[in-house]
Structure formats: C-alpha cells, structure tokens
Structure 1
Amino acid sequence: MKVKVWKVKVWFLIFGCWLLGVVQVAWASPPEVTAEAAALMERQSGLFYYEKNATERRAPASLTKVMTCILALEMADPEEVVTVSRRAAAISMGLVIDLRPGEQIKLRELIKAALIHSANDATVAIAEAVAGDHDTFVRWMNAKALLLGLEDTHFVNTNGYSHPEHWSTAKDLARLTRYALQNPTFASLVATRQAVVRWEKPQRELPISNTNRLLHGGYPQVTGVKTGTTQAAGQCLIASARSGEQEFVAVVLKSKNRYRDAVALLSWGSKELKEVNLCDKGEYWTRLPVAEGRLGDVPLVAREGLSVLLPLGEPVEKQICLTRALRAPVYPGSPLGEVIFLWRGQELGRVSLVAGKEVLERPWWWRLLGKRFE
C-alpha cells in the first residue's frame, strides 16, 4: 500500500501544474484615450500592457500598407524596375504620387512612396510588380497574416480603402508592426521625415513628407510607423518609440486625436513600466521525490534568471510544472520541470528547473540492511 500511495503522489507532481503564488508588483492608471480601440505593446517581448477593444475588428485604413510593404520587401528585389499599369495610374482617391501609364520606376521608390507619403496608387503598382496582379497579391497578404497568427485580420485591397470585408484589430496591427520592424529597410523608411521619389523613365522627381506628424517634432523618441484615415476608419495611427533599451508600439483606431492618444500611451509605457526581477539563477523552488535513491528527494533550482518589464502594483502568477518521474541516479543540472510566469493571462516567460544536487542510486545490499543514507 505504501508503494501505491507514493506512486499516486508522484503522478500528481509529475503531470500537474499548480499555482505557487503571486508577486505583487503600485502603478499609475493607464491614460484615457479617445480612440475607440487601442493597444500598447513592448516590441522585444511582444507583451501587451494596454488594451481597449483591442480584439475588435475595425477598418484599418492605410495601416494596411504595413502588410503591403513588408510583403513586397520580402518577396521581391527592391531594385526591380516596374512599368506602371493603367489600373495603378487610375487610382486617384486619397494621397497619390500621380503615377502615369507606361512610366518606369523602381520598386523601392514605390515602397518609399507608400510608407512615407501613404500613396494609394503606389500600392497597386507594388502588388502588380510582385505578384503579377493586384488580387493575387492580396491573397498573399491574407496568407501572410495567417502565417503570423493574425486571426482577426483580412484584406481586400493593398491600400486600405474601406470595404466590409477589409478589417483588422489593434492587437493584430501591433503584432504585424512588431514583425515588420525587424526588417531594416522597413524600419528605416517608416522613420524617414522627408524623401524624394525618383522615376527611371521619364526621369522626374517628387519630394514627399511623412504623414506621421510625430516624426516632425511631435515626440522626440518616435521611430515610426504609419498613419491611416478614411471615413469609416476615422483617424488611425501606429506609432513606435524608444525608451532606453525598449521600444513600444502604440496602435489607436478611430481616434479623435490620434497623435495625443499615441503619445499618452507611449509616455505612460516608458514611465510606468519597470524591469522587475522574477527569478534568480540557482534560486531554489521546490523538491521532487526520487525513487530508489540514497536521498528521498532532490531540490529543484532555476537554471537561469528572468527579468521583465512590468507595471507596479499588479500580481504576477507563478506556476510550477514538473515533467519527469524520477528514479536514481539523478545528476546536477538535469532538467526536471519549469516555472511559468503569467500576468493578465499573458505568459511573461519560463524558467527551467534543474536538479540542484546529485542523488545516487541505492546499492544492491540496501534492502538487506534496511538502511537509509542521508
């Protein structure tokens, strides 16, 4: 009976995860924003620190161009010379760069125009150059969204013109931006204040200015990203900004003042979020029984430390999961489980738990003598 009881206990320890406790970490309330939907994310970790209707599907307007341009940068040579089609040249609604049928222009100039000037005609020319036709490129955009896990995003066009089936969410747009900013060319373009678009044939130039006013002195720490405006979508903005080693991404959709809302979120994040140490390397966490060992159990310690950005004043959950049945011998450093840290349902990180000491196997004569070595 004793053996069976012990096995039941070990089974619970091996396959169970349990809440070990919470860490109280007081912070200022997040700002009020006029946007109908908004989100704030730290780019490196991908953690969200502010959400307002952040999973509600809404019209993204020209924020669509983030997907259009990152896909083009990944799938084609920016130095490719594009011949402008009649369809691309016919786009006249919203901001354009006055493309004309038969003109030749490099793909990188079209991407520049789309990201900096938000040129709607440029996105159609981009799609046709990369995929052969506009609608095929849109299908690629939707496929890329699925690959990135953007389950609440669907595109119908490349520039963000309003359509009932063209939508995204604040969280999806933040995740998309996080991905796009990994591309150096994309990151450089969305941070550019002024530029010149140049054509190959006939040779002409067009000075352009970034539509993101935060880049023109509105917020010194800003690093991008993209504006968007339609009647259905209202004022939209994705804004990124650096704060020390961190970079935050704010998304505001249908805002009464997108720049004020974005700055409020970015400033709050840089001020209120602090690095908190959740675990030290070598820190003791629990013990695990060892069958047939000279010791009855083994201490589990953290293989590495973990520090994350957190607002002060909210609890962090700590869950321990043990993943192995133990039988001697056990060697120091053997992986035996992990600690999972959670905040507001988001996983902050995981730390491996390893054996903190050696547990040797009992010798053959152990049972004969009935001795237990400590």
Structure 2
Amino acid sequence: MKRIWKNRYKRYIAVMVMFINSVVFFIAGTVTHGAESVKAEQTAELSEPEEAEQNVLAGLHARYAVLLDGDSGRVLLEKDGDVKRPMASTTKIMTCILALEHMKSEQEIVTASAEAASQPKVRLGVREGQQFYLRDLLYSLMLESHNDSAVMIAEHIGGSVRGFASLMNKKAAEIGCEDTYYITPNGLDASDEQGTHSTTARELALVMRYCLMESPKSQEFREITGAATQQFRDVEGRQSFSCTNHNAFLTMMNGAVSGKTGFTADAGYCYVGALQRDSRTFIVALLACGWPNHKTYKWQDTRALMEYGLKYYKKQRYDGNVGLPQLSVADGIPENGALSGVSTVKLQIRDREKTDILLREDEEPAYRTLLADTLKAAVKAGTDAGTVQLVLDNQVLAEWKVETAESIAKRDYIWCLCQLMMQFTHMNKINQ
C-alpha cells in the first residue's frame, strides 16, 4: 500500500513540475514577444525626420553642437548645446563685428603695441610701432586668424584688451547670451576672477546670427569672412601681406556664406558657419570637435547638420488667420441701444502680414490667442486688445497684434438720461 502511495506521489510531483515549467516557458515567451512588440511599436512611432535626427546626433564627432535657424534664432537640432566650453578663435567673429561697428573711416590707422607684437602663433608678424589700416587687419583676423591682429584691434577700439573684453561682454548680453564670457579678443585660453573664456554652442550660433542677420555692419562682415584671399601693405608701404581664407566650408557646400575656425589645447577644434539656400539660413556651431589628428571632423559634422536642415526644413506661410471672439466692454453702449445689457466689440488682426516660418515636415505649430478679459468704454477702433501667437513646443514662432474693429461709446449718466427722456416722449406719443 505504501509502495502504491509513493508511486502516485512521484507521478503527482512529476506532473506538477511539468505544469510549472510549461507556465514559466509560456510567460517567458509572452514577455519576450511583448517586449519585441513594444520595441517594434516604439520604432514605428518615429517619423523619418525624427529617425534622421537621431542618426545625425549619433554620428557627430563634436561633443557640443547646434543647428540654428538663422532667421528666427530657433534651435533646430542640438547636442548639449547649453554646456559652457572654451571656443578658441571662433571668438574672433565678435572681435570683427565690434570693430566694424566702431570703425569711423576706411582709412582708420592702428598702431602695433609691444603686447600685440608679442602674441603667439598664428600671427601676422607685426613689429612694435608698425601701422596698418583697420580694415586690412580685419582680413588678417578672419582669413588667417592672426592673434596679433586681434590684440591690435582690441587695443585700438577698447583702449586695452580688458576694455575691449568689456565691450564684447556687453554686446553678448545685448544679443541675448547669458553663458558667454570673453576675456581675450583672439580666443586664446584664459581665466580670471570672474570665470573662464567660454561660451555655449547655442550662444556661439546666436552671435554668428547677429553678425550675419542683425548687425548694421552685416554686409561688411559677409564680405570679409567670405573673401577667398586678400592682399595689403602696412601704412608706410614697406611690407606686403597676403591672406588666404582657411574656412574650407565656403567651397564645400553651395550657399556657404561665412564661418570661422578655431583651435586651442583646451577648446579642441571649434567651428561656426552659415549657409543660405532657397530663402533659408542655417547656422552650425561646434565645440570640442576633436583634437589632433582630427582636424577634418568639423567639416564632416558641419556637412551632416547642414544636409539634415536642407532636407527636412522648409518655409511655411502663416498669417494669423484665426477666429476671434467679441470682447465685452464695461460701461459700453449695447448694440441695440438698451439701457441695460452687455456691450461687446468686434476684433481683428492688425496689419495681417504673411510670415514664412521654417518648419520640419512633421512639425505642426498651433495658434494661441491672448486677449484682454474685458475693455472699458469708451473704446476707439484700433485699440490694442491682445495678440495671436503661432506656437510650437511652447516657443513663439510668430505674433500678430489684435485690435478693436469698431468704436464703442460709453454708457454714462447723460446718455442714460437722454435715453429715458426719449422713451418717455415715445410713450406719450403712443398714448395721445
């Protein structure tokens, strides 16, 4: 009897083990299949532009990079774009634009100091006391990236390198930079009690945007930075100089208009450049884009970012055409002229100008209406009543003013008295 019971017990245990194993395998298979399904669904959710964005970012050599819309200043793509880093000779775009904005004459003369003559390579090779025209030094600065030319310009404009740095930082703040700090006019690595000579990829792109799109001297900046070569002499005509532009991007892509390279031991290879094509302006900024022997990384990254922008971003037109409600007017005379009732006023877009916005093909901005809760009579036609904004990811892309389309008189004591008298007169006529 015991033997029979033992055999049944063993069979029972075996059946239970088989059952448990089956359940485990079933669950494992279900989980694996489920994970694969979720992964497939997540992959399927990516649009082509989103997948392209991921591929571009994954392939960048630069540790910090930004692709900027030159027209709006909107960041289109970034890789740690707000991290502060030294920016080497890309600093010189600020030096150049400040010099252009402060230059009084094409014949303005700059004299080399001992400090300027002692600058390290790369340098023009000026001697103390040697004189040059300021405009010629700007070609030396931007085409060959000469450090002594940068110091000559800084001392001439700002009185000293420190004084010029103050002008640089003031201009950066005006542009909207909050994490940029200039110490030197040439971008050589430096630190002081207030910080390190540094910027972010986003703010470097913003400075380039100012130089190209907003400065009153933007055309001169484009001419200098876009020149292939430039020859000049010192003021006395004793020594001639020839400068060649080292911005390879200018001949690398159709539409390239400007740029500046840079390198120091701390900064690594850096670059900021711009391209204009089909009414679109793209600006690329790269920081820490490799160290020797990887000098060409910046060109690979710039091309990848520019091609991404050109392929996926197009201009779309908007005019603020959105339905507007009527606003209530406190103490306003109602449309029917009654003594009581709510008065409202019609609204319209003021100067409905069409605006072209650079958007990726899968981006869908929305209109946002910001109106006053109520207006107080009397209201004249054309009174400000709010704004209509075009918004994407909580960023305002365009804005239109909203105004009243008509006038609303005030319902005051005299008007009410007149209305009562009119009604009284009307009733008397009926009773006669």
1:92 aligns with 2:120: yes
2:365 pairs with 303, 313, 316, which one? 316
1:113–1:197 contact (8 Å) kept in structure 2:
no
Q: CA distance change for structure 1 residues 147 and 119 in 2, over 3 Å: closer, same or farther?
A: same
1:163 aligns with 2:190: yes
1:265 aligns with 2:305: yes
1:187 pairs with 210, 218, 222, which one? 222
Q: Distance in 1 between matches of 2:126 and 2:276?
A: 35
Q: Distance in 2 between matches of 1:366 and 1:322?
A: 35
- The percentage of aligned residue pairs carrying the same residue is 29
1:2-31 Cα distance to aligned partner (Å, 9 max, x none): xxxxxxxxxxxxxxxxxxxxxxxx661333
- After TM superposition, the structure 1 = structure 2 runs for residues 9-48 of structure 1, keeping only pairs within 5 Å, are 28-29=49-50, 30=53, 31-32=56-57, 33-48=60-75
1:27–1:312 contact (8 Å) kept in structure 2:
no
Cross-structure match for 1:285: 324
Q: Distance in 2 between matches of 1:102 and 1:67?
A: 25
Q: CA deviation at 1:367?
A: 12
1:144 pairs with 171, 186, 189, which one? 171
2:247 pairs with 212, 229, 232, which one? 212
The answer to which structure has the higher helix fraction is 2
Q: CA deviation at 1:340?
A: 2.1
Aligned amino acid, residue 114 of structure 2: R
1:65 pairs with 80, 92, 100, which one? 92
Cross-structure match for 2:285: 251
Q: CA distance change for structure 1 residues 131 and 359 in 2, over 3 Å: closer, same or farther?
A: closer
Aligned amino acid, residue 172 of structure 1: E
Cross-structure match for 2:206: 175
1:288–1:300 contact (8 Å) kept in structure 2:
yes
1:276 pairs with 284, 305, 316, which one? 316
Aligned amino acid, residue 285 of structure 1: L
1:121-148 Cα distance to aligned partner (Å, 9 max, x none): 1101111222332222222222222233
Aligned amino acid, residue 37 of structure 1: Y
Q: Distance in 2 between matches of 1:173 and 1:54?
A: 10
1:350 pairs with 386, 399, 411, which one? 399
Q: Distance in 1 between matches of 2:61 and 2:150?
A: 30
Instruction: Give RMSD over aligned pairs.
Output: 2.5
TM-score w.r.t. length of structure 1: 0.83
* Higher Cα Rg, which structure: 2
Q: Distance in 1 between matches of 2:190 and 2:129?
A: 29
Q: Distance in 1 between matches of 2:299 and 2:333?
A: 64
1:289-346 Cα distance to aligned partner (Å, 9 max, x none): 2344424434433231443221122342433221363245655544311112222342
Aligned amino acid, residue 84 of structure 1: A
Q: Distance in 2 between matches of 1:300 and 1:311?
A: 32
SS at match of 1:197: strand
2:280–2:358 contact (8 Å) kept in structure 1:
no
1:340 aligns with 2:389: yes
1:325-373 Cα distance to aligned partner (Å, 9 max, x none): 324565554431111222234221211223345656676338997xxxx
1:279–1:302 contact (8 Å) kept in structure 2:
no
Q: Distance in 2 between matches of 1:84 and 1:127?
A: 11
Q: CA deviation at 1:263?
A: 2.0
Q: CA distance change for structure 1 residues 366 and 360 in 2, over 3 Å: closer, same or farther?
A: farther
Q: CA distance change for structure 1 residues 341 and 203 in 2, over 3 Å: closer, same or farther?
A: same
Q: CA distance change for structure 1 residues 200 and 359 in 2, over 3 Å: closer, same or farther?
A: closer
Cross-structure match for 1:81: 109
Q: CA distance change for structure 1 residues 233 and 359 in 2, over 3 Å: closer, same or farther?
A: same
Aligned amino acid, residue 112 of structure 2: V
1:148-174 Cα distance to aligned partner (Å, 9 max, x none): 332111112111111241101112111
2:269–2:289 contact (8 Å) kept in structure 1:
yes
1:226–1:239 contact (8 Å) kept in structure 2:
yes
Q: CA deviation at 1:66?
A: 1.0
The answer to which structure has the higher strand fraction is 1
2:319–2:354 contact (8 Å) kept in structure 1:
yes
Q: CA deviation at 1:189?
A: 0.6
Structure ranking higher on relative contact order (CA contacts 8 Å, 6+ apart)? 1
Which stretch of structure 1 is more off in the superposition, 105-114 or 198-207?
Answer: 198-207
Q: CA deviation at 1:45?
A: 2.1
Cross-structure match for 1:198: 233
Q: What is the aligned length? A: 341
Q: Distance in 2 between matches of 1:171 and 1:28?
A: 21
